[in-house]
A = this chain, B = another copy of it.
Amino acid sequence: MITSVNWISDLPLLATAAESEYAPFVLAGVLLSLVIIYLAGKLGGELSKMMDLPPVLGELLGGVVVGISALHLLVFPDSGVIASESVVITTLKFMGNLTPEAVTAIFSSQSESISILAELGVIVLLFEIGLESDLQELKKVGYQAAIVAVVGVIAPFTAGTVGLIFLFHIPVIPAVFTGAALTATSIGITSKVLSELGYLKSKEGQIIVGAAIIDDVLGIIVLAVVASLAKTGEVDIVNVIYLIVSATIFLVGSILLSKFFNKSFVFIADKLQTRGKLVIPAFIFAFFMAFLANAIHLEAILGAFAAGLVLDETDKRKELDQQVVPIADILVPIFFVTVGAKVDLGVLNPMASEDREGLIIAIFLLIVAICGKLITGWSVFGQQGINRFAIGCGMIPRGEVGLVFAGISEASGILEKPLQAAIIIMVISTTFLAPPLLRQALKEISSEVKENADIS
């Protein structure tokens, strides 16, 4: 019959035959890295939980243990590590006869894939935080919470930035970025302590929770602005105003258009018949908003957060929430463990004299982080007898959003390693310190209430 032997060889050759050849090794490297990430994250998270701390802290510490600071199971070329120092790559070398070029190419491809998965993780995290932040609830807590939030953003931001510039002679851009990392309160740990002690519905509890939510929003706007400043590398006042205005318009605009988005979303989700009929349109929206925010020079996570806030208002919310949870469960730990793995705590070795400056900066940041939030309690007005110390303590823990700053700075190379490590130490320390302080502060209320009860 037909006997042309050459029809295949007439076609253009595959452009990246070399890459294809390594493909199984890259995949093996990604799979092994994911196994390490999940094991470290889960072990750390569970240990953290046992000690009554938020699991995210354990995921971060799990990352530190498997990362560049200790076991070298999960390392990245942008930390200045070479392929042969990676335990994953060494394992892959046992599997096949790899040339040194192949090893470098595989290490770079594998690391890039894990980094993209981590970035998708933080996008899904912010989408989920958006879904869980109730706009209606936010409107109720009102002015008191808003003032506490604004003071709690401005005070540590100003003190941190000014201190870094004048005391430590850090250049303006990294100083502003680090100052910004001091702003966002983590709602998770505080609300857990409040609910344990039965104070979630108290005046203090309501103000803290409301302020923490507003803080998240302000923190993400601040992040979008400073990260964008860092890209251009100069602080241009016109640019700062453009960024603040565009970030605010982006967020407020999405919220104002949320009725329209919501109706379209519900309409489309109701029409669809195939699998993923809720979660796929939601992710199309979230990823598109993330892309849009990125395209107008803000941060992708701002878009994902806005998408979450918007879809939170639909009657599909509960069902969507439920389906986003397992997706977040497998993607978000990749982000936190990776952030931990990339932090080189070795740069803050107290034994090495050249590292002491970094350690002193870490201590400075911690003091600013605590004092900058403690004073928020005294910004509350018109509330006689309110426990101002408890409100201040409740605002201390930094969590997810603070780590998001560290992660973004890593991805964009804004901060030098010691500053990055100092931020991580600040986040970890505030999270450890807040629960005992808050418990102490709330005991004071208890005894006051008791005294009042005794008098009456």
Partner of A7 from the list B7, B291, B358 (CB cut-off 8 Å) is B358
Closest to A170 in B: B8
**A167 — nearest CB in chain B belongs to which residue?**
B1
Nearest CB in chain B to that of A271: its residue: B46
Chain B residues near A55 (CB, 8 Å)? Answer: 274-275
A167 to B38, CA, bound (A): 51
Supposing A78-B19, A276-B42 touch, asked if A116 and B167 sit within 8 A by C-beta, the answer is no
Copies in the complex: 2
Taking CB atoms, residues of chain B closer than 8 Å to A39 are: 284
What residues of B have a CB within 8 angstroms of the CB of A326 in the complex? 276, 279, 323-324, 326-327
A11-B417, A272-B46, A330-B280 known; A34 and B78 CB under 8 Å?
no
Instruction: Please judge, given known A-B contacts A26-B116, A112-B113, A294-B27, whether A274 and B413 are in contact too, CB under 8 Å.
Output: no
Cβ < 8 Å to B, chain A residues 2-31: 2-5, 7-8, 10-17, 19-21, 23-24, 26-28, 30-31
> Closest approach, in angstroms, between the C-beta of A6 and any C-beta of chain B?
9
Give the residues in chain B near A281, CB-CB below 8 Å.
Answer: 42
Assess the A42–B274 pair: CB atoms within 8 A: yes
List of B residues within 8 angstroms of A283 by Cβ = 34, 38, 330
Residue A231 is within 8 A (CB to CB) of chain B in the complex = yes
Residues of B within 8 A of A333 (CB): 276, 280
CA distance A271 to B328 in the complex (A): 21
Chain B residue nearest to A285 (CB atoms) is: B35
Q: How many angstroms between the C-alpha atoms of A123 and B27 in the bound complex?
A: 11
Q: Does A305 contact B (CB under 8 A)?
A: no
Contact B7 A357 (CB under 8 A): yes
> Across the two chains, which residue of chain B brings its CB closest to A410?
B20
Contact A327 B325 (CB under 8 A): no
Decide: B3 and A169 in contact? CB cutoff 8 A: yes
Q: How many chain A residues touch B (Cβ–Cβ < 8 Å)?
A: 96
Q: Is A329 an interface residue (CB 8 A)?
A: yes
Least CB distance from A420 to B in Å reads 11
Is there an interface contact between B360 and A2, defined as CB atoms closer than 8 Å?
Answer: yes
Q: Quick check: A49 and B274 within 8 Å, CB to CB?
A: yes
CB pair B20 A411 closer than 8 Å: yes
Asked if A372 is at the interface of the complex by the 8 Å CB criterion, the answer is: no
Nearest neighbor of A2 in chain B, beta-carbon distance: B357
Q: Mark A275-296, 1 if CB is under 8 A from B, else 0.
A: 1100111011001101100110
Complex Cα–Cα for A73 and B20 (A): 22
Partner of A279, one of B108, B273, B330, B347: B330
Asked if A79 CB lies within 8 Å of chain B CBs, one says: yes
Whether B35 contacts A413 by the Cβ 8 Å rule is no
4 smallest beta-carbon distances between A and B, as pairs: A276-B329, A323-B326, A20-B413, A31-B291
List 9 extra interface pairs beyond A35-B284, A49-B274, CB under 8 A.
A2-B168, A3-B169, A15-B79, A20-B411, A23-B412, A26-B112, A26-B116, A34-B287, A55-B275
Using a CB–CB distance below 8 Å, which chain A residues touch chain B?
1-5, 7-8, 10-17, 19-21, 23-24, 26-28, 30-32, 34-35, 38-39, 41-42, 45-46, 48-50, 55, 77-81, 95, 108-109, 112-113, 115-116, 119-120, 123, 167-170, 231, 271-276, 279-281, 283-284, 287-288, 290-291, 294-295, 300, 323-327, 329-330, 333, 347, 354, 357-358, 360, 411-413, 416-419
Question: 11 pairs across A/B with beta carbons < 8 Å?
Answer: A4-B169, A8-B416, A12-B80, A31-B123, A34-B283, A45-B274, A46-B273, A46-B274, A275-B329, A327-B327, A327-B330
